[in-house]
């Protein structure tokens, strides 16, 4: 049901008033800016910001270099066959070093100073990229030019294999672990979403500008040459910035135990770590399976487009849609799954990608194929992001470089083999037409390969999920649905709450008890099953805890951490014995205070670390979150005057200083700012009736309709039956 918002609600997204006042403006629209706040929190970290900027520029240069190197090689020969061979050969050469030097690169990333490794690698790439067009200026023999381009490309890729593990292993040390996912989002979107497009547009624009007016530019000013020079300079800039401005990267990951080990010994230990660690083993298996399936899709894509009776335009459209899905998965995935375990998300993303490949295999129309390609890309993007984040956050620093090197080497080899084998096998078996409802469906080796890739992807995702699952016994789909709703299931929780959980929060004297009673009465009149509860003191154990934490004398001298633990103990018993059973049967649970009170009073008021208080409350509740938090906002001075007017005497918290209550109030408002969709902030100085009507309207928007009353005839029959049974 939808109702017009009343004017008493406070917009939690508006700015603060002058003089530091925290009164909020009324507004009918609330915008969730939490994602932007997380992005700003990452960009405020200077070492990461600098690294991200120069990596973005270097990534643009690398994509330009990839296109320009291949174009440069093909431009040195004549004839379409020779040009195609030269173009493909340069691309293939970029994959070869992974077979030879990939595993060794990880040992070097863990053994030597990562900052110096990155600087030296970038200086070498600067020289090598600049040498490709420079050699062409001093020789007219195309075989020498192409030969050196291939050699330089091989050397560049070899150096890159050492640079990537050093960089990937260093990034988790620059930022807090909680912000690693948003940092990876930013990097991956820049590297695989923005810069490839800019590179293609840039090299096309360079070619158009250099050939403006129909004139042929000098050889040094060819678009491919300029792109290679830009790539070289971007690597020089990267080396200078890392060496001068990001000294936090410095350091080796080798600890005392491994300091005197040989490179061979470290190499063997790295491989053993991958094989013996369930998390890493599941990650590697899942990533390799996903890329194997992706390689088959790429290798068969052009033939698949023909099976749809579409031309080359359909192939490019499918290919572009795949990358659009990749960007969507990386950018939007975390916001959709929210608090879902990242280990579970990784396996589920691979299953999604595999199932989407099956959609491709069964597509009978381009529209259906485009949907499948979009979902394949989205699943791959989410798996990529969650996998990289887990590797960076869960793998120890002393072995992180070797694990990243192992993954990147294996990915390149598997991708190359999958593309090569699928493109070779796709022509075998021919194609047959199957007529269903006058639709000509091509059953070909292409579709069979896609079918195999989809099934293999699903198998890989399920296998990885089982190896990595950190919530055994918790059903998967209910956990996913609960996470999307902001209420993930905890380990051992076997049900999805069917009821609605509403919490009233606010400072002393805000009128929470009055509004709890008013809302409960209104909902009962509407026919809802309502359970009213409070914290602390809703259970027998809670009553005893309440006397400890709020009693004027018994709680004297109670340490802040002890106080926080007592509130958590009350909350754990409260949720287990009152809240969850009521939600499980579909009731509306209305609680006077919940987790936010601990974050505000013990976190801000007692100045305990808010992250620790949050974790403690989350553990106590099993991650259970309310569907709506009604924050009754009032100036502490006015609220304490109301408390004094009651004449009942102040408890321990009510007796605290005004500055304590100011901190509590601001903490409540900050929590509402961080999650405005879950909060209704109301000015508690309004008349009681207006507040009650406003709250009832908002709660009505999230409540299911109550069960309809029985027909009047059934009620009359039941009364008559009861009356007859009661007669003597």
- Which residues are part of a known binding site for ATP? 506-513
Strands annotated E in 488-542: 500-506, 530-534
Residue 630 backbone phi and psi in degrees, to 5 = -95, 110
Q: How far apart are CA 590 and CA 72, in angstroms?
A: 70
The answer to whether 54 and 238 are in contact (CB under 8 A) is yes
Q: Tokens standing for 40?
A: 């700003």
| DSSP symbols for 542-598 | HHHHHHHHH-TTTTTT--HHHHHHHHHHHHHHHIIIIIHHHHHTTPEEEEE--HHHI
Measured between alpha carbons, how far apart are the two ends of the chain, in Å?
49
Q: How far apart are CA 27 and CA 45, in angstroms?
A: 33
Q: Which of 641, 679, 646 is CA-nearest to residue 661?
A: 641
The answer to whether 179 and 42 are in contact (CB under 8 A) is yes
The binding site comprises 506-513
Q: How far apart are CA 727 and CA 717, in angstroms?
A: 16
Q: Write a three-state SS string for 492-504.
A: CCCCCCCCEEEEE
Q: Which of 568, 531, 570 is CA-nearest to residue 547?
A: 570
Q: How far apart are CA 457 and CA 464, in angstroms?
A: 10
Greatest Cα pair distance in the chain: 120
Q: Is 2 helix (H, G, I), strand (E, B) or coil?
A: coil
The answer to whether 387 and 286 are in contact (CB under 8 A) is yes
Q: Convert 153-177 to b/e letters by CB count within 10 Å (16 or more is b).
A: bbbbbbbbbbbbbbbbbbbbebbee
| DSSP symbols for 627-676 | SEEEEEE--HHHHHHHHHHHTS---TTTTS-HHHHHHHHHHHHHHHHH-T
The answer to whether 380 and 254 are in contact (CB under 8 A) is no
Q: How far apart are CA 534 and CA 520, in angstroms?
A: 13
């Amino acid at each position: 049901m939808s109702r017009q918002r009343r004017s008493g609600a406070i917009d939690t997204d508006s700015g603060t008033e002058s003089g530091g006042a925290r009164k909020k403006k009324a507004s009918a629209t609330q915008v969730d800016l939490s994602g932007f706040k997380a992005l700003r929190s990452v960009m405020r970290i200077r070492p990461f910001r600098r690294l991200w900027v120069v990596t973005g520029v270097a990534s643009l240069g690398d994509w330009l270099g990839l296109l320009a190197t291949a174009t440069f090689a093909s431009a040195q020969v004549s004839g379409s066959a020779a040009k195609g061979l030269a173009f493909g050969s340069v691309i293939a050469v970029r994959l070869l070093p992974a077979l030879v030097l990939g595993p060794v690169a990880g040992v070097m990333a863990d053994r030597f100073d990562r900052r110096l490794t990155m600087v030296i690698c970038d200086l070498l790439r600067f020289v090598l990229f600049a040498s490709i067009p420079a050699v062409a200026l001093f020789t007219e023999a195309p075989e020498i030019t192409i030969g050196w381009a291939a050699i330089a490309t091989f050397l560049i890729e070899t150096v890159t294999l050492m640079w990537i593990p050093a960089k990937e292993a260093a990034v988790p040390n620059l930022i807090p672990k909680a912000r690693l996912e948003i940092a990876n989002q930013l990097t991956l979107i820049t590297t695989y979403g923005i810069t490839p497009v800019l590179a293609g547009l840039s090299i096309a624009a360079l070619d158009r500008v250099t050939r403006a007016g129909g004139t042929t530019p000098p050889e040094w000013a060819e678009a491919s040459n300029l792109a290679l020079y830009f790539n070289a300079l971007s690597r020089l800039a990267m080396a200078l910035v890392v060496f001068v401005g990001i000294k936090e990267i410095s350091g080796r990951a080798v600890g005392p135990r491994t300091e005197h080990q040989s490179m061979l010994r470290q190499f063997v230990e790295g491989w053993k770590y991958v094989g013996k660690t369930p998390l890493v083993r599941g990650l590697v298996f899942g990533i390799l399976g996903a890329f194997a399936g992706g390689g088959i899709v790429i290798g068969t894509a052009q033939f698949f487009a023909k099976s749809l009776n579409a031309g080359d335009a359909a192939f490019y459209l499918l290919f572009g849609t795949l990358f659009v899905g990749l960007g969507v998965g990386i950018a939007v995935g975390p916001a959709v799954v929210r608090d879902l375990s990242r280990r579970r998300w990784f396996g589920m993303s691979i299953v999604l990608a595999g199932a989407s490949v099956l959609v491709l295999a069964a597509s009978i129309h381009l529209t259906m194929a485009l949907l499948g390609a979009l979902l394949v890309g989205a699943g791959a993007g989410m798996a990529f992001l969650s996998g990289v984040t887990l590797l960076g956050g869960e793998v120890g620093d002393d072995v992180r470089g070797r694990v990243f090197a192992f993954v990147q080497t294996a990915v390149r080899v598997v991708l190359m083999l999958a593309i090569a084998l699928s493109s070779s096998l796709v022509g075998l078996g021919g194609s047959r037409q199957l007529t269903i409802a006058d639709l000509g469906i091509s059953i070909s080796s292409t579709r069979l390969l896609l079918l195999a890739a989809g099934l293999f992807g699903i198998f890989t995702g399920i296998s990885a999920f089982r190896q990595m699952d950190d919530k055994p016994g918790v059903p998967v789909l209910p956990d996913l649905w609960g996470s999307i709703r902001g209420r993930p299931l905890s380990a051992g929780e076997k049900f999805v709450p069917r009821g609605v959980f509403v919490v009233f929060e606010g400072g002393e004297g805000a009128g929470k008890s009055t509004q709890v009673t008013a809302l409960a009465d209104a909902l009962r009149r509407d026919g809802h099953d309502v359970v009213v509860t409070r914290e602390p003191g809703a259970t027998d154990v809670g009553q005893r805890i309440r006397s400890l934490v709020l009693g004027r004398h018994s709680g004297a001298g109670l340490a802040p951490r002890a106080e926080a633990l007592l509130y958590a103990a009350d909350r754990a018993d409260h949720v287990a014995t009152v809240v969850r059973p009521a939600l499980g049967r579909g009731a509306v649970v209305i609680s006077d205070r919940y987790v936010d009170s601990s974050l505000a009073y013990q976190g801000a008021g007692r100045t305990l670390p808010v992250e620790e208080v949050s974790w403690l409350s989350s553990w106590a509740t099993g991650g259970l979150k309310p569907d709506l938090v009604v924050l009754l906002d009032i100036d502490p001075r006015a609220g304490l005057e109301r408390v004094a007017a009651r004449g009942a005497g102040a408890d321990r918290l009510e007796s605290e200083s005004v500055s304590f209550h100011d901190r509590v109030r601001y903490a409540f408002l900050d929590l509402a700012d961080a999650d405005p969709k879950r909060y209704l902030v109301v000015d508690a100085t309004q008349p009681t009736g207006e507040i009650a009507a406003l709250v009832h309207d908002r709660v009505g928007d999230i409540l299911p309709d109550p069960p309809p009353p029985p027909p009047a005839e059934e009620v009359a029959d039941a009364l008559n039956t009861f009356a007859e049974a009661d007669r003597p």
